[in-house]
Structure formats: C-alpha cells, structure tokens
Chains A and B, each alone.
Chain A
C-alpha cells in the first residue's frame, strides 16, 4: 500500500494548439501549457517545486517561474539528446517525486519550430567552441547537415539488409495520418493520405525519406505534471501511474547520427531499456495496450519496434503491414497520429496522448486500456491505470 502511495503518476496534462505560426513567444507557449496542465490536475501553480525540460528548450526557468508564479523550486534539470529526452523526462520526474525531493514536478517543452526557426534545415551557425557533441563536425563539410540526412545514413544499413521499401515506410505514414484524421487536435485532422500520395511526395533525402516520411515542424507547447499517488488521489483526474521509466545510453553511440559503434541494424539502447522496464515493472512494452513510439522519421518506428521487442529483427515492416498497430490491432500505434500526424512538440505530445488513453478520454480511444508505452529510443516509460 505504501508503495502505491509513493508511486509517481502523471496527474495533469496541458498543451497549446499545434500550429505552424503560433504568433506568440515560446516563453508564452511554455507558460500557457504549464497553466493548462495545472488546471487539468487541479493544482495551484504555487505548488510546483520541480521542473524538467530539454537542454535545447529556449524558455528559461526564471522566465517560466515569473509567468506561472511558482514560489520555490527544489529541483531543476535539463535533459540532453533532443527528442530522445522525451520519455527520459518521465524517468527524472518519477525519481524526483518518489525520492521525496519534490512533491509536484512540471515537465515542459515549447517551440516555435516552424515559424521562428527550422529544425529540418541545415544549421549554419556552428562555431568551434559550440557544445562539445562533435557529430556535426564530422557531417557538415560533407553535406550531411540535417536530421533527415543523419537519419538516412544511420538507418540505411537496416533498410538495405531487410529489403525495406519506400512503400513499407509509406505504410507507417499512412497509418499515422489515418489516426490524425480523426483527432481534432491534430494538424492533419481530416487529412488522411494514401500510399500513392506518399509515393508521389517529393524527396527530402534520397534514397529513403520522402516528405511524408518526416514528422512535422510545429509551433506549440506541452506540459505534464507529475506527483505521488498520495497526492494524486485528491486531484481532479484519473492518475496515469508511472509503472516504470527507464533510460540507457551506451558507449560510443550518438542519437540520430549513431554511426560509429556496433551493428547499425539494431538499437542496443532500446533493448537495454526494454530489459530494465521488464525487470522494474514486470511488463514488457509489447504487452501494453497502446504504443507511443517516437516517429521523427518512418524508419525510426521500424527500428524501435524491434529494439523494444514488439517483433524480431527485420520483421517490423510486416508487423505493421499485417495490421498489428491499427486502432483495432494488437497494439495500436500512436492513436493521436504521432509526430507525423498530430504535431511535433519534440515527442511530448505522445506522452499526453498516452495519458489520455489511460484516462479513457482520447479522440481515438482504444478499448480497455490498462497500460500504455511511451518510447523515444534511449528511454521508455510504461504508464498504467
């Protein structure tokens, strides 16, 4: 009983609209999302005593606190590795509240990634004294300058080895857009695509990534409130308990430019996260009821499905083609439409969808959801009722 009372849960979720031109600052988007999450939970923002975001989020903690009116923080942390930080935020929030360091942790991510700057374009402002991660130095003079090109280079061996075709990748985009089409919060609401439209979409990076293989560039903010179950019991919403959240990063690996270590056809860090989740929660990702898998690019979904144990090596394209991840399939994939269909708030909107699925209030609600899996390559979390 005490263990249950001490267990972390997501008690509030908030977001702005997802658009291509928010018309306001990222700091405002962050504050709006945090306040929306507090209202959703029934928590006074003054109670927030910990906050977590990504290293590359542009909103400063000082500015956020000034806007939302928190009184005292016991804990702030920023996570590296871009969107791979997504599920890792839950790992840190869970540890912060279960250890007693914090009572109420807010996680936020806000970006004007379409209107203010473009993640998908070459970064030209790289200086020798920039952050020490060296990957751009070894790609930039060779014209591999965008996430799409790093993805193409890192997934190429997997796709070649298993004979994955552009049509196989298209099946994933079609599925994400089908789910988004019936989600009013999705940018691509009521805009499903056919495989033919995918095949006719222009190349972004040959020979693997067409426009419709890429996630969106979006403006918007998302926030999540995490507290212990002893507090969650008195709040407004059905808590989404964090049954386990895990992170693993391995020697000589990188995130999207993961070229230098080991067999490139697998995702060893996802395999490690899976082992840790099973050990900690007693449940495997593949045995949960909903799969929220980070879909920055379609090939990433295939490799993660295998890395997180949904199917064996090389089987992911058929696993999807066989309908396992449809809304009425074995484990529906991102019923919100994911980052391809709903919006790209750096993965955070996949966590909020997992929470809605646990609560039973999602636009594309899967029946009888008891558990949901959220994954972002090097991190994963299992949520439960």
Chain B
C-alpha cells in the first residue's frame, strides 16, 4: 500500500491539513506570496511567521510517468505519477487516478482528492475535473 508521507518539522502542517481533507500551501502574508515546497522562512522578507492558505485544488498535468522496473515501492501496482501545475501557479508532484495510462497526456485538467496511506494517513492525489 501507499507509503506514509515523511513528516518533518517544517512540513508537518501540510500533511496534517491533508488529514482534514485540506490541500494547502505556505504563504507570507505581508509579501502576499505563496510557495511550494514549504520552507522555514519567506525568501523575500525573511519572516518566519508563515501563513497557510487553502488552494483551489485545481490544476493541469505538465508531465507524467509510471515506474515499470522497479515497481514503485509500497504500492501494489505503480501509480501514474504526475507533475501538476496548480491554478495558483505552484507545481506539485502527485498521482493521477481515474485516467487510463494510455489516455494520459499533458494538459489534462485535474482536481484534488485524498488517498489513504499504509499507516492511515492521507495524501493529495488528483482526478480529472468532473464536468
């Protein structure tokens, strides 16, 4: 089954939000900039008091791949991994569910959902936007 996320001090807020079904990114309020991956400090003003913003959960597939050999560790079957450009302008690596491998292509519009991990955690995955 899907491995658990690796929680570190600087990133635990993200995975904890997933537990609540929220897909979020870090933000510096005063600078009004959003970023991913998380970091301890705003790269512009060096503020360490970060805010957390809920994202739309919408994005577009940039690229994708499937590990054939070796198969992805922990999974029964390698998932479709994808790089997704979120509507907020951030990029995020995740999985695409509900699309057959042969139908994968760049440009597919996707929205966030949450998948369970082996240790009972949740991680964000993406499915095609329902019309």
Interface residues of A (CB under 8 A from B): 120-122, 124, 126-129, 134-146, 148-149, 152-157, 160, 202-208, 211, 251, 257, 259-260, 264
26 A-B contact pairs sorted by A residue (CB < 8 Å): A122-B70, A127-B6, A128-B7, A134-B38, A137-B37, A138-B92, A138-B93, A139-B93, A142-B81, A142-B95, A143-B72, A143-B75, A143-B81, A143-B95, A144-B67, A144-B72, A153-B81, A154-B63, A154-B83, A156-B83, A156-B106, A157-B83, A204-B69, A206-B66, A207-B66, A260-B90
Q: A213 to chain B: closest CB distance in Å?
A: 12
Q: Which residues of A contact B3 (CB under 8 A)?
A: 140-141
Is B91 an interface residue when CB atoms closer than 8 A count as contact? yes
Q: Which residues of B contact A152 (CB under 8 A)?
A: 63, 65
A153 touches B93 (CB 8 A): yes
Interface residues of B (CB under 8 A from A): 2-11, 36-38, 43, 62-70, 72-75, 78-79, 81-83, 90-95, 101, 104, 106, 117, 123, 125
A136 touches B83 (CB 8 A): no
Given contacts A143-B81, A259-B83, contact A138 B37 (CB under 8 A): yes
| 17 extra interface residue pairs, beta carbon distance < 8 Å, beyond A145-B67, A259-B83, A264-B63 | A128-B7, A137-B37, A141-B5, A142-B81, A143-B75, A146-B67, A153-B93, A155-B63, A156-B65, A156-B106, A202-B69, A205-B68, A206-B68, A207-B104, A208-B65, A251-B43, A257-B93
Nearest-neighbor residue (CB-CB) of A135 within chain B:
B37
Q: A132 to chain B: closest CB distance in Å?
A: 8
A141 touches B36 (CB 8 A): no
B73 touches A156 (CB 8 A): no
Nearest-neighbor residue (CB-CB) of A204 within chain B:
B69
